[in-house]
Copies of this chain bind each other. A is one copy, B any other.
């Protein structure tokens, strides 16, 4: 390809959002470039969703030994881990998923350009000494773990999700700084694998929950596995060659630390200041979340870079929106987003769907609860957790849910779909619930909420033929 080229669309970043954007763009034009800086294969496949799920699965399988003896399964005391093999298996699966994504990237041949992109002006990029003129540009170059330089200086024993899956074997002890989704998932998985884990949640919030009772249930569940420090900023230091984590009055020597206290959008190294447009304190231009367009410019921001919802299915949709609109800049379409759904793959799962508790107006909603203490959850030895669902006090319309629940990932889908379809607690109670299933716990919560709604139908349990 020529040194200086002119294209319809340039996409910065061959991650999830960028690849999906390209799949939309090529429905209209083949004259595009996809620019990738660093390793190919998406955050999700390389260092995110996939290797974490592989580690969690092994951890859950090993942890399960604790409930087997009472069932008549003997010999569990002989089960042991080969830490190096555990990490090799995680990397093998990771490589399987990453290779799939790399193949989806390299198929674009010379339209794929490797190097770091910088803006030289509106519609102009410089990449590895080449100049690219583009009618439209999509910024989709992801995010990176936040890591304070003084912690980075402590060396390889201070990990982030970028380096975690490269460790040769399991550490004996681990500090987890930040109990968001990544901290909770990895912290608990490491604990299940026999690593002594201490987790620090500065704000006391856990995995994005905002309901105090559900947060408490999640904390209690985590405390079966690890030590949880809450309410103090954590710090790392080397003391006589040893790594020490501290937070308020707490202090612990650890073999390694995982810093999981947020991610930084890769927006700060693109030369956006060359565009002469207003940038916020993070260096982010203002964009319309319904079109992903930067106001007045042929420029879109998609995926983790835009800082909106750094989760895969939202990045995927961002790619669709930006790709669709990048080839229709005359009249970009406004897209309606899906109902919110956030899942932390801990045990029990931590899930929110729809509106979070903290965003509800007190007095406008009723709550239904279930604590999963019996039935199928008991049979599966997963009888712990708490689900709170919120419904409109007048009509019973489902508003949202926060939960720490067995099979919460599945309950979350059911509820997110019901919320997006504007269903009420009464509508959902007319749906089938098999027996014995975890969904019956959800039904208990729906019934409880239904009983508290002001306007109730005559017989909420079933539908009459004449009424629908």
For A58, list chain B residues within 8 Å (CB). 71-73
20 contacts between A and B (CB under 8 A): A50-B379, A58-B71, A72-B81, A75-B80, A76-B79, A316-B435, A333-B464, A334-B465, A335-B463, A335-B465, A338-B432, A412-B434, A413-B414, A413-B434, A414-B417, A416-B432, A417-B417, A417-B418, A420-B430, A421-B421
A268 close to chain B: CB less than 8 A: no
Is A247 in contact with chain B by the CB < 8 A criterion?
no
* A413–B432 CB distance below 8 A: yes
Say whether A407 faces chain B, with CB atoms less than 8 Å apart: yes
Query: Chain B residues near A57 (CB, 8 Å)?
Result: 71, 379-380
0/1 interface trace, chain A 425-436, chain B, CB 8 Å (1 if under): 001101111111
Given contacts A53-B436, A57-B71, A75-B80, 11 further A-B contacts (CB under 8 A): A58-B73, A70-B89, A72-B84, A72-B85, A72-B88, A320-B461, A335-B465, A336-B468, A413-B439, A416-B431, A421-B431
CB within 8 Å of B: which A63-85 residues = 64, 67-68, 70-76, 78-85
- In angstroms, how far is the closest chain B Cβ from the Cβ of A314? 9
Task: Please name all residues of chain B whose beta carbon is closer than 8 Å to the beta carbon of A465 when the two chains form the complex.
Answer: 290, 334-336
Instruction: Answer yes or no: A49 CB below 8 A from chain B CBs.
Output: yes
Note all chain B residues with C-beta closer than 8 A to A73: 58, 61-62, 79-82, 86
**Does residue A93 face the partner (Cβ distance < 8 Å to B)?**
yes
CB neighbours (8 Å) of A467 from chain B are 336
Instruction: Chain B residues near A428: list those with CB within 8 A.
Output: 417
Query: CB < 8 Å: which of B82, B313, B407 contacts A434?
Result: B313
| Interchain CB contact under 8 A, A336 and B434 | no
**A341: CB under 8 A from chain B?**
yes
Given contacts A57-B380, A410-B410, A432-B338, contact A79 B74 (CB under 8 A): yes
Q: Of B78, B79, B409, B434, which contacts A437 at CB under 8 A?
A: B409
Q: Across the two chains, which residue of chain B brings its CB closest to A69?
A: B85
The reply to whether the CB of A324 lies closer than 8 angstroms to some CB of chain B is yes
Q: Inside 8 A of A427's CB, which chain B residues have their CB?
A: 421
Contacts of A436 in B (CB 8 A): 49-50, 53, 312
Contact indicator per residue, chain A 27-52, by CB within 8 Å of chain B (1) or not (0): 00000000000000000100001100
In A421-466, the 8 Å CB interface with B consists of 421, 423, 427-428, 430-437, 439, 459, 461-466
Copies in the complex: 2
Residues of chain B with a CB closer than 8 A to A421's CB: 421, 423, 427, 431
Main DSSP-derived SS at the A contact region:
helix
Whole-angstrom distance between the Cβ of A150 and the nearest chain B Cβ: 34
5 nearest A-B residue pairs (beta carbon): A72-B85, A72-B86, A410-B410, A78-B78, A312-B435
Which chain B positions have C-beta within 8 A of A409?
434, 437
For A464, the chain B residues whose CB sits under 8 A away are: 333-336
By the criterion CB–CB under 8 Å, are A54 and B379 in contact?
yes
Which residues of chain B come closer than 8 Å to A462, judged between CB atoms? Answer: 317, 320-321, 335-336, 338
Which of B53, B79, B335 contacts A376 (CB under 8 A)? B53
Q: How far is the CA of A44 from the CA of B67 in the complex (A)?
A: 25
Residue of B nearest to A416 (CB): B432
Q: Known contacts A57-B380, A334-B466, A413-B434: does B64 contact A74 (CB below 8 Å)?
A: no
Greatest chain B CB density within 10 A among A73, A317, A462 is at A73
Bound-state Cα–Cα, A336 to B431, Å: 11
